[in-house]
Structure formats: structure tokens, C-alpha cells
Structure 1
Amino acid sequence: MASPSVPPSAGQPARIAANDSGQASEPAPAPADTSRGTLRIILGDQLSRNVAALEGLDPAVDVVLMAEVMGECTYVRHHKKKIAFVLSAMRHFAADLQAAGIRVDYRRLDDPDNRGSLRDEVIAAATRHRPSRIVVTEPGEWRVLKDMEGWAEAAGLPVDIRPDTRFIASRQHFAAWAGQRKQLTMEYFYREMRKETGLLMTGDGEPDGGQWNLDRENRKRLPDGVTPPEPLRMPPDAITRAVMDLVAARFPDHFGDLEPFWFAVTAGDAERAFDHFVRTALPRFGDYQDAMKQDEPTLFHAVAALYLNAGLLDPLAACRRVDRAYRAGRVPLNAAEGFIRQVIGWREYVRGVYWLKMPGYAETNALEAHRPLPDFYWTGETDMNCLRQCIGQTRREAYAHHIQRLMVTGTFALLAGIAPKQVCEWYLIVYADAYAWVELPNTHGMALYADGGVLGSKPYAASGKYIDRMSDYCRHCRYDVSKATGKDACPFNSLYWHFLEVNRERLKGNRRMALTYRNLDRMDDARRQALMDQAAGFLATLEHA
């Protein structure tokens, strides 16, 4: 979600100030500035003091514009908890800037003259402050960048759109790496990032432990009797409470629960939450990174993606902290490498793919999947316990970890042939860490194979056996994961074979699918037909929102 914006009130911009107790207070009126300084724009996912738009700031003449806007809150119907997180984090960040002596023109969502769009707020601020230029950091979404490119003409001022230097690989860096490669294999990009950063590297330029990737050591099922630690939960302060009231009033029909709200909304609290993860959960994260468990939403995960993606945590600094914990003997290598791979590997890689392939990337549908999204993706009301668990916690927490997203909600959508645009919109709506640059490639490419193999060399198709191997969900399900046909058969099993048959012409030439298709072809005709009939019968029962 790009930074929401709000229109100026009667020429009087609002400022976030600190009250006598040192706590951030609500925006208060401030006189308009008429200098010829720079108007610097901070979006809602750019809440970092080292963001490029703030470089070279002169507090004597420059003004920072931060705006909450309805357009950014509603271009998809974001989870209520996500909107509350972004708006509260924005207000706290503005207070920190103001306390440092920086003038902040802060536009609230509930200002009576809120203009509702980021562009209109920028134009209005330019009129109020009469700057010599506008400076902004490139956004994380193609849609917002295209709008930004029209600001100069709309405002009658030069606009400097700066690269987002919080990422290790710039867009140009990734494009140069991609070059003329036929396959954009993440593993090779990840190795380059390891060499460039020095993370988990020996003095001789080799990976610690002699291997680059320990993914095979991240696949243990969580044993009975192992109790994961709780993430550090932050009670809402007065500003967050006010935002929650605003969200409840303005977005009552948006997806998800607003309470309990426990996310950090400041850089300091995000750092505390991450330190807590490194101490309590990271040591076992490596073993159980891919595990799932009934009524355990976080297991040993950091729940840090929303802080990284909003700018409250610095990704390279977080990885260096994990590297130090490994070198100090506090965490095993498979834990440190598993975390670092997710950040400097996957996170940087999917951003690179997004900007390299947009805007056409979002339009691809390699498997010609067109079935509407089932209603239970919104309600969580389904007899399939794995989906009920993952969607239910997503409604409550605006969070699910990567295996729940990829191998449960993502795999079902893949097997059932759900339309990619509907699935991608759902993922963008429901998770607090979801922004287009990270959500689209992960969903469109990795989960749905809608890009035809840009991200993955084959579809992540799996039967119920995978979910049973990595979780205890099947124990609590009315369906029998050992069965593929019959009234109590796990739907994932027949859907798996149905998916392979439906997509035979598209996938049979994929060398990594050869064994799978040989297994399908060895089935007798009666067995194959029974599976196809079972899947078709199930798909016919799906209700669509």
C-alpha cells in the first residue's frame, strides 16, 4: 500500500508534534511555508530515516509531506489491520521527524478537506509551500510510479524520483544480472548477493559451512510437545488507538479483524521485536521453517516482513545481526542461512523480477486458469482444515508464513485453476506485509505458475501428502488424506492429478515434470477416470464470492 494521503485544510497543513510527556501527539495546525526549499514526499512504506527522499534535507527551508489518502486505502480492500498498521506507523514516523526539527506537513485521512489521492495532495502542498522542486523515492508499485511520472506537469515543478537505496540490488543492478539469461534462477542471484554483502562468507570467499543453500535442512515437521515462543506483542498506544477507531469507522466492510492489534509501529519497537525473535525463535527457525501446526500461527518465524517492507527495519542490518548471532554460536547455520536467504535472496530477487517484467507480467496467465475465487477465501468456512486454519489466522492476524501461503492457499488456487488476478488481489488485500513488488511475483509466479516459469522451473503442485508431512492439519480434518476418491477423500489428492491432466499439453515437455507424468500414465484408465470425476465433482461444488 503506497502512502495514503489527505487533502490540506484551508491552507493550514497539519504537523505531528510531541507533547509535554515526550509522546507523539495528534497533528496540530502549522503555518504554511512560503520558502523556495524542497518538498520531500514520504510514502507509507518508506518510513526510514535513510530513505533517499530525505538525503540532503535542509531543515531550514525544506518540508516533508506525508499524507494519508483514501485512494491508497481502497484501491483494493486492504485488511483493516494492515491499514491501521500503516497509518499508525506513518503518524509515529512523522512525530520522530518533527522532534528532530524537520517540518512535516501531515495530512490525515479524516481531515475535512482531504482530497483522497496522493497526486492531489502533492499538488496542494506545492501550492501551499511554493518549493523549487519535489523529491520522492521511487515507489514499490508500477501503478504509483506511472502516477508519479505525471507529477511534474501537474504541479509545474521538477520532480526528482530517486532510487530506493534501502535495497541491496538496484533495479539497474538486477536488470544487468538478468541480462540475456534464459532462466532467472534465484539461487545464482542469491549467491551474488552473499558475495556482495559478505554475509555468511569465509575470508576466502567461500560460503560458511561449504554450502550456499541449506534448504534441505529447513523441512522438519514440528514434533508433538514442542511449544514455539510467542512473538513480542506491542500494546497499542494512544495514536494507534485513535487510528484503530478511524479504521473501524471508515472501513467496516474491509476484510479481517482489527483486534487484537499487536504490531510494532515504530522503528524502535520493530527492533525490539526482531531482537526477541533472534533470541527466542531463530535458533530453531532453521529446522522448522517449513512446518505448520494447528492453532500456531507464527511458530519460529520472525513476523518481520511487515517491518522490513514498511521501512521500520533495515534488511541488511537485520541480516548482519543474524550473521553475528551465528558467529557467536547462538544459532545454527541452517537457521542463519535460512533467514538470510529469505531476505537478500528471495526478497531482493522478487523485487527485481517485478520491475524487470512489469507491466505485462501481471497480465500473463500461462495455464489459462479462469475459475472464480471461492467464497471460503474470504470467510474461512470450509471443511478442508488446512485452508480453514490458514485463512482463519489470516483474517485474525493479517499474517501467515510463507509455507502456508505457498503450499496451502497457493497450492489450492493452483490446483483448482483459480484466475490469477483474483488470487493476486486476495493476497494483496489480506496480508499486512503485502505490497505489489513482493506480492505479485510470489503469488503470480511462484504459487500459480501464471508467468509460465519466470520464477519457478515447474509449478509448485502437490497433493495432500505434502500438507500431512509438514503439519498436523490433516489429523483435525473431516477428509482422509490417505484417500483420493470417495466422499471423505482429501480434495487436494484428486485435484492434483486433475491439474496434471488438464495442463498436460502445457507441462509435459518440462523435464522436471517427466517422472510425474510417467506416474500418471501408468494408471489404468478406470483409476484415472475416477480421479478426474472426483475432482470435477468437487470443483462443481465451489461457491464463489
Structure 2
Amino acid sequence: MSAAACCVWILGDQLLIDHPALQWAEAHTAREQIRVVLIESRGRLQQLSYHRKKLVLLLSALRHYAETLRARGYVVDYVSAETFVDGLQQHVSAQQPDQLVTMAASEYATRELQSSLADRLQLPVQIVANTQFLVERHNPIPEPEPGKRYVMESFYRDMRRHYAILVTDDKQPVGGAWNFDKDNRQKLPKDAAPPPRISFTPDDITRQVLSEIAAVRHGVGSLDGFDLAVTHDQAQAALDDFLEHRLAGFGPYEDAMSSQHMLIYHSMLSLYINIGLIDPLTALRMAEAAYHAGAAPINSVEGFIRQILGWREFIYWQYWRQMPGLRMANSWGAQRLMPQMFWDGQTQMRCIQHVVERLLADGYSHHIERLMVICNYCLLAGVDPAGVADWFLMFYADAYEWVVLPNVIGMGLNADGGLTATKPYIASANYINKMSDYCKGCHFDHKQRLGEKACPYNFLYWNFIIEHEATLRANPRFGRSVLGLSRIDEAERRQIQAQADEYLAELEVYENSGS
């Protein structure tokens, strides 16, 4: 073991309790020679107008993490600087380490920065593998066979087998099926009463962060009622609470939307998994144990496991396959700015109004509202994918580039040419009415596709199919929807296009979107 002084740089979304960079340092030098550096980068925090609760979550969790490390005997240098490089240069100048170790970042630009640190700092730099993602721990990382498309379902099954999650001894799916989606598309009953999620009272550290964010005129959304987990113990309590009170009901209603219940039976654990407060494999094993203990049915447990081991991991895998070009992907040629209603919730479209108002309040909505309310509208209306991605990064407390770009640009907007998803996820108002109570009491009629009361989702949906008929007809997964166009005569098609053109021409947009 060397006596060389070692700097361990841990990023703010890498708050792992057992951090591989620390493990590397401990294996290569004496504990008393290790200095941990944590950096609050003002430039990074103000890169976009992020949700204020997202900023509080990140800063409070980072400051609590510093205290956790100190309690474990580490010396922590907590630095506030304009950039990460500025902070590292301050630390290196003051501490004079012999080497630096850091865990590979989850985002492309930061990983590129890490690769340049040896030259910038004139210091040996060791970058250890990222362990926040199970696909990164998979050895070897799954790769498609030459000439074959590797869809999420195949990826998910391979990951289930590799990690032996919900599979039998001969690697077959527990319950006789790999997924139970057919059981998980129910509308929430009117008398449903999903239990509330656990909440946490802000302590002195969090109250200080709240005060700091309130004093800075930056960001979107409200700070009122901040009650998120900011420590590993609190995040574990949130996981325990979900498994005990909401996992059993999750499956049947995971696609449901409600004006009365924001979470329904969703977990909201992505906020904590994405910054390292919860280990994804721990969450998966605990959910699997709940099934075997009879605490939750197979469709709910498999649905939850699919969200993490399937979608989360597949999206991360796609991000690294497609970067750096993914941010610029725009296969539909969409150019419109993000509409104003997505910034303030001021609209007569009840579904968008509810989702945006909740976002402004809490920085969260569940995956179907993201896909079928927000992305569906933006794809149909021709909103620029990069602008939509930036909006997601700003408004969602669990949003980071690795998850937003493939989920939004790839899946939600189908702007990557079909690399992430095999079809565009578009729908008329009929889907929203089927899966929610949003259409009840709305100014617009979900059944009408023309006229003053016609829901914009309807004429925009058919306008999109008319405009892209040839492309959509060539997609075998979209044939049925294109066939529906045959029931609309030429005169009505022209009316649909005219109403869509008029609506889009008058659509109020947010001129500073993306800033």
C-alpha cells in the first residue's frame, strides 16, 4: 500500500454509501492520506432554470453526504466554485495530492471532462467504473447480435436472467410470463384511495439550503412543502414505505392518470436512485422478496422491476450507444418552441393543466403523464426535441441527461429514427380519456376531432398521420392507426389539416424556452 496522498472526487449524483472511488483509494493508500472533495458548482446548478425543489434535493443530499463521510472518518473538503475544474484546482492547490480518483460520470460531457483532468490538473487520474447502473456491472455489457435489433424486451429478459431476478433455477420467468402488461392497464376507480407517500421534515441543513435557494431569483417551481428524502436512511425509509403500502397496487394502475392523486401507487424512488441514495439492485431484491413473501402480486412486482431493470437500464444503455449525436436527433424535423402552457399551466386542456401545475408544485409526475400527455402533445405539435429535453431537465426533480435524452428524444418524440423505440408513441384524446379522469369537465370534447370544442390531441393526431402517412405505413407496428385514415375522406382530411394549421399558428410559445 502506498503512502501517496489521494484525492477522491465524488459527483453530486453519485452519493453511494459504498463508493467505488473510495474503495479504490482505500486499496491503494492509507486512510489518513485520503481527502474527499465534494463540489457545489454554481455554473452547473444554473446551467438551466432547474426546479427549485430539485436544487434543494441535490444540495441538501450532497451536504448530508459530506456529514456521513465525516462520521465514517473521512476528511472532506467541501468546495463552492464556479465550475468543477475551478473547485478541483482549488483543492489540488491547497492539498497537493499525488493522485486523483473518481467514478465515471453518468453523463457524456462530465465523463469527457474527467478524461481531461490529468492534463488540466497535471496529476495522475484514475477513473473507476460506474456502479450506479446494473448494465455497467454486467460483464460483459449486453450487446445485440450483428444485424439484429436489440429491443427493450430482449434486453430486459437478458438482465433478468443475468441477475437471477424473478426467474426459476432454469432461468424461466416466475409466474410463467416475462411481463404482465395486459393486467396493468386499468383506469383508477373513482373510489380509490391510494395511501400517501412518506414525507420528511427538513432539518437544519435542508432549511439552510431552502433559505439559499429562496434568496436566489433562479429556477422554476415552488419551494413550498419540501419534504423529500435527503439521506440514505430517509431514502431507505421511502423504499420501505413504498414496498409496504403501494407496491401491491402498483401494477394494475401503473398506466392510470388521476386529477385527484398525483402518485397513485407509484414509488417516486427515481429521485433517490438517480443520485445514489438507493442502490437499484437493493430495490429490486426487496421487491422480489415482497412477492415471495406474499405481500404483493406478480403483476405489480414484475411491473416495478421492469421499470428499473428494464426501462432505466435500457435507457442508460441507449444513451451511451447514441451519444454524442442523440442531443441533436430530430428525425421528424420538428422546429416549434415549447408552448407557454408547459411553463405556467395556463390552458383549457385539463390534462396538461393538471400535470404542469403538479410539476410546478412538486417537480414530479409519473411516466405515463410524461409519455402520453407531454411527449405525445409535443410530437404531434412538432416541438423541437432539444427544447423538450431541456424543459424536462428543468421541471423534473429526477431528470438527468442520461435519462432524458433517450426517454424524451428517443422514446417520447421518436426523434432518433427509431433506435430507442420501435414506433412513435402517439395517441388521440381517446387514450387519455380511457386512462384518466382528465377529460371529464374539460373545455374540449375528447370525442370531437373537428370544430371549436374538438380536443387538440384529436386533430393534431390525425394531422400528424396525414402528414407522415408514408413513413408510418412502412412501420409494421403502426399499420392499424394508418388504416384508420382510410375512413376519413379527402374533404375531412383537408379540414383536419386546416384546423391543425390554424391552431399551431396561434399557439403561444415561450420565447425563452431552453434557457
1:296 corresponds, among 252, 261, 281, to 261
Q: Which residue of 1 aligns with 2:16?
A: 48
Moved more, 455-464 or 519-528: 519-528
Structure 1 residue 175 displacement after superposition: 5.7
Contact 1:36-1:130 at 8 Å conserved across structures? no
The residue number in structure 2 matching 1:198 is: 164
RMSD: 1.4
Residue of structure 2 in register with 1:112 after alignment: none
Q: In the aligned structure 1, how far is the partner of 2:137 from the partner of 2:381?
A: 34
- Counterpart CA distance in 2 for 1:239 and 1:489 is 50
What are the equivalent positions in structure 2 for 1:24-43 lying under 5 Å apart?
36-43=4-11
Match of 1:237 among 203, 228, 231: 203
Corresponding residue SS for 1:39: strand
In structure 2, distance between residues paired with 1:76 and 1:175: 33
* 1:482 aligned partner: 447
Give yes or no for contact 1:171–1:356 (8 Å, CA) kept in 2: no
Matched, 1:135 2:101: yes
Which residue number in structure 1 is paired with residue 213 of structure 2? 247
Q: What does residue 126 of structure 2 align with? A: 160
Q: Give the alignment partner of residue 373 of structure 1, picking from 320, 331, 338.
A: 338
Q: Is the 8 A contact 1:184 1:454 kept in 2?
A: no
CA contact (8 A) 2:131 2:137 kept: no
The answer on whether the counterparts of 2:250 and 2:300 sit within 8 Å (CA) in structure 1 is yes
How far is the alpha carbon of 1:500 from its aligned partner?
1.0
Opposite residue 327 of structure 1, the aligned amino acid is H
The one-letter amino acid of 1:246's match is E
* Equivalent residue for 2:434, pick from 457, 462, 469: 469
Structure 2 counterparts to residues 488-503 of structure 1, below 5 A: 488-503=453-468
- 1:455-484 residue CA offsets vs partner (Å, 9 max, x unmatched): 111100100000000000000311110111
Report the Cα distance in structure 2 between the residues aligned to 1:515 and 1:315, rounded to whole angstroms: 38
Distance apart, 1:180 and its partner CA: 2.8
- Return the alpha-carbon distance in structure 1 between the equivalents of residues 279 and 493 of structure 2: 51
Query: Is 1:223 aligned to 2:189, yes or no?
Result: yes
Secondary structure of the 1:486 match is coil
- Structure 2 matches for 1:107-506, cutoff 5 A? 107-108=79-80, 115-170=81-136, 176-178=142-144, 180-250=146-216, 252-506=217-471
Letter paired with 2:188: L
CA contact (8 A) 1:424 1:443 kept: yes
Q: Which residue of 2 aligns with 1:17?
A: none
Secondary structure of the residue aligned to 1:202 is: coil
Does the 8 A contact of 2:17 with 2:277 survive in 1? no
Query: One-letter code of the match for 2:163?
Result: T
Q: CA deviation at 1:182?
A: 3.9
Determine the structure 1 residue equivalent to 2:36: 64
CA 1:171/1:501 → structure 2, altered by over 3 Å: closer, same or farther?
farther
C-alpha distance in 2, partners of 1:280/1:514? 41
Q: Does 1:81 align with 2:46?
A: no
**1:318-368 Cα deviation digits (max 9, x unpaired):** 110000000000100000000000101111111011011100121111111
Greater shift in the superposed pair: 211-220 or 54-63: 54-63
DSSP-derived class of the 2:135 partner: coil
Report SS of the residue matched to 1:460.
Answer: coil
- In structure 2, the partner of 1:10 is none
Aligned residues: 504
The alpha-carbon deviation at position 535 of structure 1 amounts to: 1.5
Structure 2 distance, partners of 1:296, 1:59, is 49
| Equivalent AA in structure 2 for residue 55 of structure 1 | Q
Q: Distance in 2 between matches of 1:542 and 1:50?
A: 50
Q: Distance in 1 between matches of 2:137 and 2:343?
A: 35
Q: CA deviation at 1:74?
A: 1.3
Letter in 1 for 2:508: E
SS at match of 2:78: strand
Q: 1:508 Cα deviation (Å)?
A: 2.5
Select 2:485's aligned residue among 509, 520, 526.
520
Residue identity matched to 1:396: A
* Structure 1 residue aligned with 2:505: 540
Q: State the TM-score, normalizing by the size of structure 2.
A: 0.96
**Structure 2 gap ranges (5+):** 511-515
CA distance in 2, matches of 1:181, 1:98: 51
Matched, 1:90 2:56: no
Q: Distance in 2 between matches of 1:204 and 1:40?
A: 42
- Point out 4+ residue stretches in structure 1 off by more than 6 angstroms: none
Q: CA deviation at 1:258?
A: 1.1
CA distance in 2, matches of 1:361, 1:292: 29
C-alpha deviation, 1:127, in angstroms:
1.4
Asked if the contact 1:37–1:132 (Cα under 8 Å) also holds between the matched residues in 2, the reply is yes
SS in 2 for 1:194: helix
For 2:14 and 2:71, locate their aligned partners in 1 and report how far apart those are by CA, in whole Å: 18
Retained in 2: the 8 A contact 1:80–1:255?
A: yes
The SS at the match of 1:511 is coil
TM-score, length of structure 1 as denominator length: 0.90
Any conservation in 1 of the 2:17–2:232 contact (CA below 8 Å)? no
1:18 maps to none
- The 1:507/1:174 distance shift into structure 2, 3 A limit, reads farther
Q: Work out the CA distance in 1 between the residues paired with 2:306 and 2:45.
A: 31
Q: 1:99 to 1:121 in 2, by over 3 A?
A: same
Rounded to whole Å, the distance in 1 between the matches of 2:112 and 2:140 is 20
